[in-house]
Structure 1
Amino acid sequence: MLTTAWLAGKGFDIERLRFGLRTALASCLALVVAWSLGLEHPQWSAMTVWAASQPVRELMVEKSLYRMAGTLVGTAVGLLLLTVAGDSLPWLVIGLALWVGLCAGAGNALYSLLSYGALLSGYSAAMVALLGSADSLGTLALGADRLLTVLVGVVMALLVGLLFTPGARRSELEEQGRRCTTRVLHQLAAQLGSRRHPGAQAPSDLLVDIALLEAQLEPSAAGSRRARHSARTQRTILAALTAALLWMRRRGRAGTASPAVERAVHAAALAMDRAAPLPEVAGHLQRAQALAGPDDPALTQVLERLGDALLARQRFRDTGRARRQGNRPGLLRHRDWVHARHAMLRTTGVLLVVGLAWAATGWPAGAYVMLGTAVMVTLFSTLENPAWMMRHVLLWQAIAALLALTVRWLLWPLASAEWQLIALLAPFILVTVIPFAHRRTQNGTVDYVMVLLLLSQPALPLVGTFSHSLGVALAVVAGPLLALIAFRLIFPTSARHRQRRLEAMMLNELEALARQGTPERAAVWEARLYHRVMQLVHWSHRRGDATQRVVDGSLAALTLGETLQALQHHGEQADAATRRRLAASLRRLGRLRQSPQEAAAALERLARTLAYRQQVALALQSRHTARLLRANQAFFQQAS
């Protein structure tokens, strides 16, 4: 205990230290096993252990399976490219650049470990095709060696991981979700009545808690289909809570509901507080929904959404499956298609430039430059700020290259047997644990051990020259350097870029809804909106910005979407003159981002027309939406 406390006081993450030690030992074990089996590249098995190991057992098992599947697909594509391209290096480069770029795009569009599998399929093909052209092995022999070494690494990672890695702590996430639901229900009851709940938070603060919880659900969903269904139902509850908080933000303190509605919601909050069965909580919400009735349709919809989400969670607990209920499409997750397209174009373009330069110069180490670049621009493209991470990766890879040269030219010449080569390499693998576990040095340390192993071929007799080894080491380190330049100059990405892009996608769909709105399109937009709000709050919180701007902007977007639906529904029944005015206003709203002020003015003019034709409620709704557009002009203009 004293040692653990001392290490923690010195800046070490104790859990990460234990995980790193397990992984380093498993990596050494995989290296020994692969060498004992006579595999050509035993160091690849040790690399696979570091790639497949995870601090949670379920995540490790699923990642290992995806690693095997991704390696199988990548190896097959790599062998196919070698076969089709033959001796033509330019065609090999073009085919590889297109494939890796496609995998990078898919990896950035997908969620969960599907993303990892797609990225791995790309750079596994690069390892087979490029090292196949650089080494003396034949095509099929290289592919077989790659598959077997990966299999050995995965088996060793699983063996050590299943024995010593703890399971996922899903109950903690469920308890956090229960507490979030309790706080939102107490806040809703307080807003419906006159009572004040002690310790109440502002809706924007509650949204931050919900967004942070939603970000933790993806890793917890690994390991089984039940876990994925569990995360899906939890995410649906969080979306319903987001809808409730936006409703509270819109309503403010203007008026109270009937005491009976407030008492029913308060009873639901108390039931959730004491961890009562979810059907009991949903029953109180259904009673509140019935009491609210048609007098407050927005509140009725909020209560219905939350009650349905809680019942769906209970059905999952009873059956182990999450099923869509009712006519509502439920929660649709946001996918950043723009970022995925940028990743695909960036990866393809950079690899084409690097590969064709290699083909033109004929530099023997050019294959390693392209390989390192392929790994870096794909694997790190999913990060929030890949350029920042590349600086750490570049530093650790340079250290690894220097140590690999030291091992090869100063230590290994002292060995007389291959087992001694492995014994001399093992300490440099084990020492990874120290920087890996320290909070100041942990970023990029896995790349240190990866490059160290990539550059270390434990086989006798030792061949090659120092100049060749130096050239290969410089070529490998050039990968993160080129990736750093690419991430900074070609479609640069960061939390700010992702937030702005997400806002732009929200408004782009609103403009499409104004131009060609249908009830189905509107339902899909609303179902996706709540996950996008959680994502926006998450990005804003990560940047350290106040979340109020994105909350108010999201509320304005939601209100505008509801107004568009109401206007289009009215247009189906209106006279010809009103339909023409409606169509003109909707066309202007279809160019919302060009000038939110003009869009607001168009809504105000339409409101006057509707009021003249005795459509008072719709006129008031249009005027209120226009005020929100003016008040949140910065949100709409920054998203353009």
Structure 2
Amino acid sequence: MIAARLKGYFETSLADLTQPTRSDWIFALRTVSAGLIALLAAYALKLDHPQWAMMTVFIVAQPVAGMVLAKGFYRLLGTLVGGVAAIGITTVFGTNPWVLVTVLAVWIGICTFVSSLLRNPEAYGAALAGYTAMIIGLPAFGQPHLVVDLAVARCAEIVLGIVCAGLTSRLILPKLASDAIVSRLKRCILDLATYAGGAFSGGDPATLSTLHRKLITDAQTLGEMRAYARLEAPSFAPRAHPVRRTIGQLLSALSAARALHSHAAPKNAALIPVRSELQSLVSELATKPGALDDTALWVARLDAIAGNARQMPDASTDQGDDRVGTITRLTIAADFADALKQVLRGLDALRAPATRSARGSRQPALVVHRDYAGASRNAVRAALATLLVAAFWLTTKWSEAAGTVILVAVVSSLFAARPDPVQVAWGFFKGTLLALPFAFLVGQIALPALPGFGWFMLFVVPILVPTALVMANPRYVGVATAFAINFLAFLSPHQAMTYDPVPFFAGSASILVGILLAIGVFIVVLPADPWLAANRIVRAMREDLARLCLHERVPRRSAFESLAYDRINQLMPLVQNAGQKGDAVLGGGVAAVTVGLEVLRLRDASQSHAIPSET
């Protein structure tokens, strides 16, 4: 059994790595080309650390142009904020080394706290602002007059890399976020139709649960892609509002489909026609080739179904023993039809953009979960780890330990908010360790003997192109990215490369030790407990349900729904390996959404006097 699983795993992994797609090749060649252009420009500008320009290209590299621009923008913003902080901290506290490293550690803690409350790429920019101050401040230790020059040089190197990556991603066979949104929304609609078809016909619970979770994740991804598309093309701004509306309607349709699945309709004359029409429609939508090429027919059918569902059933109709339940189910069916109709209209709006003046309806509130307790823990851990390693550096006066301090600050802040930071940091270490022999062979053996940019390309391109191909695979992107950036960090390319192995191995050792220390910090200092984080989310969902019942102010449906689904999305990686216990937690979270929406329905009905006050 174990041998068969291992064989299947390795066969799948090998297939993933040896069968890159056309898009993967475009991404790899574009990324390596941008990196070489950035390095050549850094040589021409005589920058002190030209490798940072090339490293930045690989750091911000993404398959979609908007994602590159977003990560590049927040990398630039984080670098500028970190540079200003480094100048201020070093100028004020530079005369006292212990106070200096303490203030830098506190700054890293603050930035880690903010980063833990944000999402990519904003979170990346906040973390970068923290450790950039350390990267600039430590080399200026004892020489505070150099801090401005160091900050300007680093910002120039980062800007150069961002410009090269952004231009190539936008101009060379670009993959645009605006196009990706349309294709992803189509997949979401078809998945929603498949889910609804299974829900209405009593499909396999495990399959429906998996599809339900996928739809939640895809809805969150659509929100992220919306921000990327606005960055890559300002002309997309008028279409950003339909995307936001469509995400809200997609979540509403998902909730309604699950509610209809949870409350199976009794066999009565009022419910059977509506349910049959819905089941027929979603089944056709999910299976018909090119079903979304023209949505007019589907919209018309959904309009008719919603109208039929909202007609009050005649009292003489056979409705079983539960007339109120029948009316409720009909109302939910109408809600599903209306929501799916709006999703289809949203798809049309994306394919044929409306003018700015066409925007009139109120935008749904899309709210995200903030874990302040987890952010505080991450901040304390990052600050404490940085301070302890910095204290070791100051006490021993080991010059190479400065690199270790920087790596501890980077890893303990950058990976702090991940569900399993130890696993992510370990992947980063593996990629870094794997890069070491390649960097030694190229930087210490080949290039000193064969100098020149042409030889550099000849040796580096065969290494970086396969690396970029692996970066295009989501399963290995972390290890591959660590390999690429640390290969360049170890290599430290300059126009005149010399054989000097002692500093090479000393600097490499400081980087590897720094990563290992950061992993140890994640394990020992305030270790992340997925179940504690999951319990905080569950407790927040319970408190939301209580507030829905007790508070006079009734929140907007879209605000409650988007926040609840965002919390479920945060729960998934925390409990995915917990078996039945994890499934129970996720099931409870989804049930909380259903209960909350019904409470909102009752509150709205009460406020509109649809329910007599005496009831």
Q: So what's the TM-score if we normalise by structure 1? A: 0.73
Shift of 1:20: 2.8
Alignment partner of 1:517 is 2:546 = no
Point out the more displaced range, 24-33 or 538-547.
538-547
Shift of 1:236: 1.5
Partner of 1:557: 592
Partner of 1:11: 18
2:251 counterpart (239, 247, 251) = 239
Q: How many residues align?
A: 558
2:439–2:487 contact (8 Å) kept in structure 1:
yes
Alignment partner of 1:145 is 2:177 = no
Q: Hey, what's the Cα distance between the residues in 1 that align with 2:465 and 2:145?
A: 33
Shift of 1:34: 0.4
Q: Hey, what's the Cα distance between the residues in 2 that align with 1:319 and 1:511?
A: 40
Point out the more displaced range, 402-411 or 499-508.
402-411
Partner of 2:275: 262
2:365–2:556 contact (8 Å) kept in structure 1:
no
Point out the more displaced range, 468-477 or 299-308.
299-308
Q: Hey, what's the Cα distance between the residues in 1 that align with 2:482 and 2:376?
A: 26
Shift of 1:260: 4.9
1:363 counterpart (398, 421, 439) = 398
Q: Return the letter of the residue paired with 1:307.
A: D
Unaligned runs of at least 5 residues, structure 2 = 1-13, 231-236, 314-322
Q: Hey, what's the Cα distance between the residues in 1 that align with 2:435 and 2:378?
A: 27
Partner of 2:194: 183
Q: Return the letter of the residue paired with 1:236.
A: G
Point out the more displaced range, 138-147 or 530-539.
530-539
Unaligned runs of at least 5 residues, structure 1 = 1-6, 191-195, 573-614, 619-640
Secondary structure of the 2:175 match is: coil
Partner of 1:171: 182
Alignment partner of 1:126 is 2:139 = no
Distance 1:306 1:358, change over 3 A: farther
1:17–1:434 contact (8 Å) kept in structure 2:
no
Partner of 1:448: 483
Shift of 1:528: 2.5
Partner of 2:219: 214
2:419–2:574 contact (8 Å) kept in structure 1:
no
Shift of 1:157: 1.5
1:130–1:367 contact (8 Å) kept in structure 2:
yes
Superposition pairs of residues 112-123 of structure 1, within 5 angstroms: 112-123=120-131
Distance 1:568 1:219, change over 3 A: closer
Q: Hey, what's the Cα distance between the residues in 2 that align with 1:10 and 1:462?
A: 32
2:108–2:382 contact (8 Å) kept in structure 1:
yes
Q: Hey, what's the Cα distance between the residues in 1 that align with 2:32 and 2:56?
A: 11
Partner of 2:465: 433
Provide Cα deviations, 1:234-290, integer angstroms capped at 9, x if missing partner: 432331133123313431354554345336645764785644237535523531442
Q: Percent identity?
A: 22
Superposition pairs of residues 406-425 of structure 1, within 5 angstroms: 409-411=444-446, 414=449, 419=452, 423-424=455-456
Partner of 1:59: 67
Shift of 1:366: 2.5
Partner of 1:485: 520
Partner of 1:350: 385
RCO higher in 1 or 2 (8 Å CA, sep ≥ 6)?
Answer: 2
Shift of 1:454: 2.7
Q: Return the letter of the residue paired with 1:223.
A: A
1:401–1:477 contact (8 Å) kept in structure 2:
no
Distance 1:319 1:390, change over 3 A: same
Q: Return the letter of the residue paired with 2:466.
A: I
Secondary structure of the 1:138 match is: helix
Provide Cα deviations, 1:558-593, integer angstroms capped at 9, x if missing partner: 576579889999999xxxxxxxxxxxxxxxxxxxxx
Distance 1:568 1:179, change over 3 A: closer
Provide Cα deviations, 1:165-187, integer angstroms capped at 9, x if missing partner: 43343332122122133235545
Distance 1:435 1:197, change over 3 A: same
Partner of 1:609: none
1:223 counterpart (223, 229, 232) = 229
Distance 1:290 1:73, change over 3 A: same
Shift of 1:115: 2.2
Q: Return the letter of the residue paired with 1:291.
A: Q
1:370–1:479 contact (8 Å) kept in structure 2:
yes
1:45–1:152 contact (8 Å) kept in structure 2:
yes
Partner of 2:307: 287
Distance 1:366 1:551, change over 3 A: closer
Shift of 1:233: 3.2
2:95–2:142 contact (8 Å) kept in structure 1:
no
Q: Hey, what's the Cα distance between the residues in 2 that align with 1:320 and 1:351?
A: 51
Partner of 1:594: none
Superposition pairs of residues 85-124 of structure 1, within 5 angstroms: 85-124=93-132
2:278–2:305 contact (8 Å) kept in structure 1:
yes
Q: Hey, what's the Cα distance between the residues in 1 that align with 2:468 and 2:544?
A: 43
Secondary structure of the 2:140 match is: helix
Partner of 2:338: 307
Q: So what's the TM-score if we normalise by structure 2? A: 0.76
Q: Return the letter of the residue paired with 2:212.
A: L
Partner of 1:596: none
Q: Hey, what's the Cα distance between the residues in 1 that align with 2:417 and 2:360?
A: 29
Secondary structure of the 2:554 match is: helix
Q: Return the letter of the residue paired with 2:88.
A: L
Q: Hey, what's the Cα distance between the residues in 1 that align with 2:476 and 2:583?
A: 34
Shift of 1:42: 0.9
Q: Return the letter of the residue paired with 1:432.
A: L
Distance 1:536 1:400, change over 3 A: closer
Q: Return the letter of the residue paired with 2:338.
A: G
Partner of 2:81: 73
Distance 1:282 1:491, change over 3 A: farther
Distance 1:412 1:184, change over 3 A: closer
Shift of 1:114: 1.9
Provide Cα deviations, 1:284-326, integer angstroms capped at 9, x if missing partner: 3531442258943465256336625743763654537897957
Q: Return the letter of the residue paired with 2:506.
A: G
Q: Hey, what's the Cα distance between the residues in 1 that align with 2:329 and 2:271?
A: 15
Point out the more displaced range, 262-271 or 473-482.
262-271
Distance 1:463 1:537, change over 3 A: closer
Shift of 1:31: 1.2
Shift of 1:548: 5.3
CA-atom RMSD in angstroms: 4.3
1:372–1:479 contact (8 Å) kept in structure 2:
yes
Q: Return the letter of the residue paired with 1:177.
A: C
Distance 1:204 1:460, change over 3 A: closer
Point out the more displaced range, 535-544 or 47-56.
535-544
2:50 counterpart (28, 36, 42) = 42
Q: Hey, what's the Cα distance between the residues in 1 that align with 2:565 and 2:16?
A: 41
Q: Return the letter of the residue paired with 1:258.
A: L
Shift of 1:91: 2.5
Q: Hey, what's the Cα distance between the residues in 1 that align with 2:579 and 2:360?
A: 36
1:126–1:371 contact (8 Å) kept in structure 2:
yes
Q: Return the letter of the residue paired with 1:314.
A: R
2:114–2:126 contact (8 Å) kept in structure 1:
yes
2:57–2:164 contact (8 Å) kept in structure 1:
yes
Q: Hey, what's the Cα distance between the residues in 1 that align with 2:219 and 2:598?
A: 29
Provide Cα deviations, 1:13-68, integer angstroms capped at 9, x if missing partner: 34445423432232222112201111111111111111122112222233222322
2:53–2:161 contact (8 Å) kept in structure 1:
yes
Distance 1:28 1:284, change over 3 A: same
Q: Return the letter of the residue paired with 2:552.
A: T
Q: Hey, what's the Cα distance between the residues in 2 that align with 1:55 and 1:95?
A: 38
1:214–1:534 contact (8 Å) kept in structure 2:
no
